[in-house]
Amino acid sequence: MSKRIEVKDLNVYYGKFKAVEDVSLTIEPRTVTAFIGPSGCGKSTFLRTLNRMHEVIPGASVQGEVLIDGKNLYDADVDPVMVRRQVGMVFQRPNPFPTMSIKDNVLAGVKLNNGKISKSDADHLVEKSLKGANLWKEVRDRLDLPGSGLSGGQQQRLCIARAIAVSPEVILMDEPCSALDPISTLAIEDLIEELKAKYTIVIVTHNMQQASRVSDKTAFFNIAGTGEPGKLIEFDDTTTIFENPHVQATEDYISGRFG
């Protein structure tokens, strides 16, 4: 169900400004890959190119190839909407739909896309997704209340439940814990560990301990200076990156000498 992502010579632009330069890497199925690096180095921008969310921003464009199981996402005949159904995303700030109940939030992707789903199927999917996101026990008796009434950590897990309800192949997480307290962060990290069994997960994080805790592979991005494009400096097993990095900049960053 999960898929391999291959990125080849990818350049990302905002208008004329080149934000990310020449990234090539391969993400294996059923692994967790963490992107780390200083602010503005283009890791979130790069993440968003993996499900074509990047082009939602006016003027943004991409050069190069992103292959998911050999199929280039940026081929002319690929519909970005179909890409996003395969590659789900969880954002930095929890963003449940304020007009919808908890249940409808989970069902949002399914209901908005093809409209009809039988009640028993819907109930089943809600339970499965919320259990998948470790939220079922906390919300099962208030499924019809608005999702915005939950705590920040619960909202974020609701967003994860919403993302896995459309059964994607890959889940992208853009600093999913940066707005959360340590307890909620722990809950999300445990969840990532469980989700790994089924999905390919890519996570952007500013928290290096988090990267070392949850990920199998780590990619370090860096930026030469303001106005320069961000680059992929090193991509390797997480243990290698944190214990025995090959590039000096990586070591400087993870040992806290800059950043």
Question: What residues make contact with another protein under the rule CB under 8 A?
Answer: 51, 53, 56, 58, 81-86, 88-89, 91, 93, 95-99, 108-109, 112-113, 146-149, 159, 162-163, 166
Please, what is the minimum distance in Å from the beta carbon of residue 91 to another protein?
A: 6
Please, what is the minimum distance in Å from the beta carbon of residue 241 to another protein?
A: 28
Closer to another protein by CB, 96 or 229: give it: 96
Closer to another protein by CB, 58 or 225: give it: 58
Cβ 133 vs Cβ 191: under 8 Å = yes
Closer to another protein by CB, 53 or 73: give it: 53
Please, what is the minimum distance in Å from the beta carbon of residue 126 to another protein?
A: 15
Looking up tokens 């921008």, which residue turns up? 45
SS (H, E, C) the chain: CCCCEEEEEEEEEECCEEEEEEEEEEECCCCEEEEECCCCCCHHHHHHHCCCCHHHCCCEEEEEEEEECCEECCCCCCCHHHHHHHEEEECCCCCCCCCCEHHHHHHHHHHHHHCCCCHHHHHHHHHHHHHHCCCHHHHHHHCCCEHHHCCHHHHHHHHHHHHHHCCCCEEEEECCCCCCCHHHHHHHHHHHHHHCCCCEEEEECCCHHHHHHHCCEEEEEEECCCCCCEEEEEEEEHHHHHHCCCCHHHHHHHCCCCC
Taking the C-alpha atoms of residue 86 and residue 67, their distance in angstroms, rounded to an integer, is: 13
Closer to another protein by CB, 164 or 232: give it: 164
Closer to another protein by CB, 155 or 185: give it: 155
Residue 61's Cβ-count burial label (10 Å; 0-12, 13-18, 19+) is middle
Please, what is the minimum distance in Å from the beta carbon of residue 90 to another protein?
A: 8
Please, what is the minimum distance in Å from the beta carbon of residue 120 to another protein?
A: 22
Please, what is the minimum distance in Å from the beta carbon of residue 225 to another protein?
A: 29
Closer to another protein by CB, 91 or 136: give it: 91
Cβ 29 vs Cβ 2: under 8 Å = yes
Please, what is the minimum distance in Å from the beta carbon of residue 211 to another protein?
A: 22
Closer to another protein by CB, 8 or 85: give it: 85
